[in-house]
Amino acid sequence: MMTIRQRALAVLNHRQPDVVPWLGDLAYWVNWLNRADLMPDKYKGDGLYRLHRDLGVGFYLQGYFPFRAVYDGVEISEEEDGDRRVTRVRTPYGDIQETHIYLPESYTSARTEHFIKSWRDLAPLRYLYDHTFYEPNYDLAARRYDLVGDHGLVLCYLPKSPFMELVALKAGIAAVTYALTDAPDEFAETLAVMAAKHGEAAQLALDSPAECLMIPENLSSESVGKRMYHKYVRPYEAHWIERIRAAGKYSYIHIDGTLRGLMREVSQAGFTVLEAVTPEPSGDIPVEELWKWAEPETIIWGGLPGVMFSDLVSDAEFDAFVIRVLGVFKTAPRYVLGVADQVPPYARWARIARVAELVAQHGHYAAAAAVETAA
């Protein structure tokens, strides 16, 4: 019997393992357990890797950026008032600030104010980037080869593409659209400054010990259409995909939103893996049709919407859905079973562990083939 690591590497190299690999993102669920003081002591700290083993979930995505930002010549302050956190950046071109509100009922935070409200905030943002530098932070990536062992993969993040950094984090799609219309030259200059700095950080990620490198775009075709993707996002992705490939590593993109508008285009960009692919009922493509929207060599990773792990779904419905997904994924070694995109708080331990049982029962490939072991 192959290990989870061997199964995942087999699929990444377009070979057929013994059963469909199952590697899931437990980060949000783990955060809930820790914040709610529900995490057993044996799973705290480095016990995180034992937790994955005991649940039968392959490890890959408690990912992190293998570099740290260092600021020189710019003043950044942070203030907390209860569940409200305000971050301010002071520059010679004006100040910008963003606000997060922690939501205790969902064990997460929401950004209620972005740094960029209009094109006038682009100059301070450029100043911030001009005075941001990066240094490597490789220790955890190096340690994880021993900590994860045969139970998964070692993955780190590159920065997002500059355009998606603005859309997802710094501005939001509305402010991006207005800035692009109101001040196209300012917008282009800002993207150029960001691209240079993201390139410095991305090179550090490329040089890290990680074998898998993800651009965590959080891409959804509801907010970014084909025109914006091809003009502003794909050039960055294509550049780093090629460099990741040349380094002998695997390239991932986190594409966890609606798929129909962009999945084919993103696949054609050349990523090894489309990760957190979310089918119906949470997404907009039935699991049986995902293959139609990706190039034959592209690996589709995901399939199990996070809501399936909640008590909104009965045990019988959960089993039936996992078996349905496995029925598709075992037809060819181009799929990895994963969560799309995270197991939510309040999910039951038994339900998470149930996936490994169902994989053992229903995850054997439909067509017999020689099993090749990946080191």
**What's the 3-state SS for the chain?**
CCCHHHHHHHHHCCCCCCECCEECCCHHHHHHHHHCCCCCHHHCCCHHHHHHHHHCCEECCCCCCCEEEEECCCEEEEEEECCEEEEEEEECCEEEEEEEEEECCCCEEEEEECCCCCHHHHHHHHHHHHCEEEEECCHHHHHHHHHHHHHECCEEECCCCHHHHHHHHHCCHHHHHHHHHHCHHHHHHHHHHHHHHHHHHHHHHHCCCCCEEEECCCCCCCCCCHHHHHHHHHHHHHHHHHHHHHCCCEEEEECCCCCCCCHHHHHHCCCCEEEEECCCCCCCCCHHHHHHHCCCCCEEEEEEEHHHHCCCCCHHHHHHHHHHHHHHHCCCCCEEEEEECCCCCCCCHHHHHHHHHHHHHHCECCCCCCCCCCC
Q: According to the model, what pLDDT value does residue 264 have?
A: 96
Q: Tell me: the pLDDT tens digits for 144-181? A: 999 999 999 999 999 999 999 999 999 999 999 999 99
- Residue 159's φ and ψ, nearest 5 degrees, are -65, 160
CB 255 within 8 A of CB 224: no
Mean pLDDT of 211-217: 97
**Does 215 score more than 60 pLDDT?**
yes
With a CB cutoff of 8 Å and minimum separation 6, the contacts of 197 are 129, 130, 132, 134
Q: According to the model, what pLDDT value does residue 371 have?
A: 36
pTM: 0.95
Of the candidates 58, 6, 19, the one whose C-alpha atom is nearest the C-alpha of residue 335 is 19
Rounded Cα distance between 43 and 205, Å, is 28
Q: According to the model, what pLDDT value does residue 366 have?
A: 82
Rounded Cα distance between 27 and 24, Å, is 9
Rounded Cα distance between 249 and 212, Å, is 6
- And the tokens for 72? 């020189």
Q: Tell me: the pLDDT tens digits for 4-48? A: 999 999 999 999 999 999 999 999 999 999 999 999 999 999 999
Rounded Cα distance between 355 and 321, Å, is 11
CB 23 within 8 A of CB 4: yes
Q: According to the model, what pLDDT value does residue 151 have?
A: 98
What percentage of the chain exceeds 90 in pLDDT?
Answer: 95
What percentage of the chain exceeds 70 in pLDDT?
Answer: 98
Q: According to the model, what pLDDT value does residue 373 have?
A: 32
CB 209 within 8 A of CB 145: yes
**Does 347 score more than 80 pLDDT?**
yes
Rounded Cα distance between 302 and 21, Å, is 11
Rounded Cα distance between 364 and 354, Å, is 16
Q: According to the model, what pLDDT value does residue 62 have?
A: 84
> In Å, how far from its chain's centre is CA 179?
27
Q: According to the model, what pLDDT value does residue 63 have?
A: 84
Mean pLDDT of 224-228: 94
Q: Tell me: the pLDDT tens digits for 111-153? A: 999 999 999 999 999 999 999 999 999 999 999 999 999 999 9
**Does 374 score more than 70 pLDDT?**
no
Q: According to the model, what pLDDT value does residue 249 have?
A: 98
**Does 369 score more than 90 pLDDT?**
no
**Packed helices 184-206 and 122-130: angle between N→C axes, nearest 10 degrees:** 30
Confidence label for 375 from pLDDT (cuts 50, 70 and 90): very low
Rounded Cα distance between 195 and 288, Å, is 37
Of the candidates 353, 352, 351, 294, the one whose C-alpha atom is nearest the C-alpha of residue 328 is 294
Mean pLDDT of 262-270: 97
Q: In terms of pLDDT, which residue wins out, 220 or 313?
A: 313
Q: According to the model, what pLDDT value does residue 367 have?
A: 67
94-103, strands of its sheet edge to edge: 75-81, 84-91, 94-103, 108-113
* Residue-level length of the chain: 375
Rounded Cα distance between 374 and 12, Å, is 10
> Amino acid identity, residue 306?
G
Q: Tell me: the pLDDT tens digits for 55-87? A: 999 999 888 999 999 999 999 999 999 999 999
- And the tokens for 57? 């979930």
Q: Tell me: the pLDDT tens digits for 179-209? A: 999 999 999 999 999 999 999 999 999 999 9
Confidence label for 257 from pLDDT (cuts 50, 70 and 90): confident
